[in-house]
Structure 1
Amino acid sequence: MVMKHYPPQFKVDTVALYRSRPGTTIKLVAEDLGVNTEMLRNWIRAADGRRPGSHTASGPAPSAPVDDAMQAELAAARKRIRELEEERDILHQAARYFAGATRW
């Protein structure tokens, strides 16, 4: 098995993407991005301050007060995620179009 190394920013962005989609599953986000489901689950646990492989029965971590700078950064990150999702969708559509156009 070949282990891929992902940059820390990719991991942060992936966890943010998962959290920005209420009602989605880890599996769907992992499939969309082409990462292993368990790897994404571990990144989410690490972001929550839990060890990978640890299981807790408690709910989500309590949220700390967020200052204005953090709110602005979060809004900018969410905007960028939406832009990237739109770009990805356009590329998927183009790939499907060109794949169909090459068939005789």
Structure 2
Amino acid sequence: MARKKATFTPEFREEAARLVVENDRRIADVAREIGVGETTLGNWVKKYREDHVGDEPPLGLSERAELAELRRRTRDQEMELAFLKKAAAYFAKEQR
């Protein structure tokens, strides 16, 4: 038996996407809560972000500095992780 395709109003879609974007919630959690698929809600969130791209206020000086610091730390941690992976592979090979 074929399932009927659920239809949602544009207001419902926007409100669901707003729950994710404005409250920094995970798509999976909100999707489970409102009873829609994760992919569906992900598409709604993507469209919401595209439609409201200019609505966010620009970053302040302290926020820009924090963002730069976080990017630097992420880059450093990625380099450390790559090194540790190579070291683990080297020592795993050596023990055989």
What is the TM-score when the length of structure 1 is the normalising length?
0.47
Equivalence for 2:77: 84
Structure 1 gap ranges (5+)? 1-44
Alpha-carbon offset, residue 65 of structure 1: 1.3
Q: Does 1:72 align with 2:65?
A: yes
Structure 1 residues 48, 75: CA separation in 2 closer, same or farther (over 3 Å shift)? farther
Correspondence 1:34-53 to 2 at 5 A: 45=20, 49-50=24-25, 52-53=29-30
In 1: Cα distance, 2:84 partner to 2:67 partner: 26
- Offset from partner CA, 1:39-96 (integer Å, 9 cap, x none): xxxxxx5786346233151243633211111000000000000000000000000000
Stretches of structure 2 that go unaligned for 5 or more consecutive residues are 1-19, 32-40
User: Identity of paired residues, percent?
Assistant: 32
Q: Which residue of 2 aligns with 1:98?
A: 91
TM-score by length of 2: 0.51
Distance change >3 Å, CA 65–CA 46, structure 1 → 2: closer
Structure (1/2) with the larger helix percentage:
2
How many residues end up aligned between the 2 structures?
Answer: 59
